[in-house]
Amino acid sequence: MKEILKGHIVHAPALGQLEIIEDGYLVLEDGVIAGIYSQLPGEHADGKMHDYGDRLILQSFADMHLHAPQYPMLGMGMDLPLLDWLDTYTFPVEARFADTEYARRVYRRLANELITNGTTRVCMFSSLHTDATWVLMEELEKAGVTGFVGKVNMDRNGKEGVYQETTEESVSETLRWLEGCHFDHVKPIITPRFTPTCSDELMAQLGKIAAEKGLYVQSHLSENRAEMAWVLELHPDCKQYWESYHKFGQWKDHTVMAHCVHSDASERRAMREHNVVVAHCADSNINISSGVCPVRQMLDEGIWVTLGSDIAGGQQLPMYRVITTTIRSSKVRQMMDDWKTPFLTVPEGYYLGTTAGHKYFGGGFAVGDALHAVVVDDGNFTESTRPLSINERFERALYMMEQRNIISVWSAGRCVVGR
């Protein structure tokens, strides 16, 4: 089927680049972008028209790191640093997801909040629980959220008897979970929580499963100084944190590592050499006092940086807000670096929250890609002193928009919210 979206089209094809097609036409063939035009070619005049008038058609958002079972603790418990925060607040909340009915209620609401805020792709952590993880995948699929979900693995340093598996359980439940993953748009990803909660035996088995089944891996890296010191105590043979993943075959192409706040030049080189993806989580890094990540430096070094809300270390899901926090955080970094490091511009922040993440799933906003887009109505914003350019309206939308401004969401070529 041929469809046409008409409106002001804005997307970021490369870092720092913004492409704006004012009063443009986006032509879809069976949900796949066939062309983007400022004048509709006659051969496409027969398509079904979605006329969005004076509204903005933006590429949708990709949240490359978040914890679904932490949704109930959103906006709470920000007074402790990472390791105490996990132990005191997080593990008890995640343990609640042994109850699949509870999981269903929470995850349905989470999936709805994601999609109505224009997050159409995710790379997400579930809890230890196989059944609740399937429920999560089902609810995302139903809502139109696509991407990867991981059943979390942890066989040590959790809460014994409350929130921890044996090594055998962790492996056999991972295999059982993988067997039951039959979703069209939501796929499994191997998810050791982080090195301190996974024994060597478990890490080795997970590396093997990932290799045998051709699966990607996601975890956490160098988020907090105490965490990093603990990893080196647990792995005296490793000089750096990243080696504790590398040792077990998990440091490889498309491995997503959240945070990386304190990764030094040599750890960053290892990322670049193995095409490991950074999920930068600016809200969380500030909330639980982890640090201010040197994102500009990473980008200059050619590292693949994406963004994550990291709820509930992060306090909010909407990626348009995560993007602006990322920009603010880069300005704090500039101040910390004696004003030497340039901050991230709006087009750069937008690129990181959209294209950089979408690339992970093999698509973008180009001919041949399934459409992932949001339509933004900025008509209720304060009247400006003069007519604004599309570029100005785009910037203001990123900083000011709320869920109610998103009138339509397209995910994997389908209109899943609005019309």
Residue ranges that bind Fe ion, judged by CB under 5 A: 258, 310
- Which of ligand GUN, Fe ion, none sits in contact with 194, Cβ below 5 to 8 A by type? ligand GUN
What residues does 149 pair with on adjacent strands?
124, 188
* Binding partner of residue 190 among Fe ion, ligand GUN, none, CB cut-off 5 to 8 Å per kind: none
Phi, psi angles (nearest 5°) of residue 309: -75, -25
Nearer to Fe ion, 59 or 284 (CB): 284
- Given candidates 11, 67, 129, 296, which one binds ligand GUN under the rule CB under 6 A? 67
Tell the smallest beta-carbon distance from residue 290 to ligand GUN (Å).
8
From residue 253 to residue 292, the character string flagging contacts with ligand GUN as x (rule: CB under 6 A) and all else as - is -------------------------------x--------
Look at strands 256-259 and 277-280 and give their pairing. Answer: parallel
Q: Does the footprint of ligand GUN cover residue 377 (CB under 6 A)?
A: no
- Judged by beta carbon distances under 5 to 8 A according to partner kind, the member of ligand GUN, Fe ion, none in contact with residue 50 is none
Question: CB–CB of 141/186 below 8 Å?
Answer: yes
**Smallest separation, CB 296 to ligand GUN (Å):** 22
Among Fe ion, ligand GUN, none, partner that 320 touches (CB below 5 to 8 angstroms by kind): none
The CA-atom distances, in angstroms, between 157 and each of 86, 94, 143, 167, 206 are 10, 14, 35, 12, 18
Backbone angles phi, psi at 327, to 5 degrees: -65, -45
Q: In terms of Cα–Cα distance, which of 418, 322, 276 is closest to 61?
A: 322
| 86 touches ligand GUN by CB under 6 A | yes
Distance CA 347, CA 23 (A): 20
For β-strands 304-307 and 277-280, DSSP reports them as: parallel
If you compute the radius of gyration of the chain from its CA atoms, what whole number of angstroms results?
A: 21
Residues 66, 136 contacting (CB under 8 angstroms): no
Nearer to Fe ion, 52 or 85 (CB): 85
Instruction: List, as one string, the DSSP characters of 116-156.
Output: HTTEEEEEEE--S-HHHHHHHHHHHHHHT-EEEEE-EE--S
Q: How far is the CB of 313 from Fe ion (least distance, A)?
A: 6
Both tokens of 144, joined, read: 């139109």
* From candidates 313, 318, 353, 357, binder to ligand GUN by CB under 6 A: 313
Which one among 24, 59, 77, 90 touches ligand GUN, defined by CB under 6 A? 90
Site size toward ligand GUN, by CB under 6 A:
11
- Tokens representing residue 323 in the block: 């993007």
Binding partner of residue 363 among Fe ion, ligand GUN, none, CB under 5 to 8 Å per kind?
A: none
For ligand GUN, the binding residues (CB under 6 A) are 67, 82, 86, 90, 193-194, 220, 223, 284, 310, 313
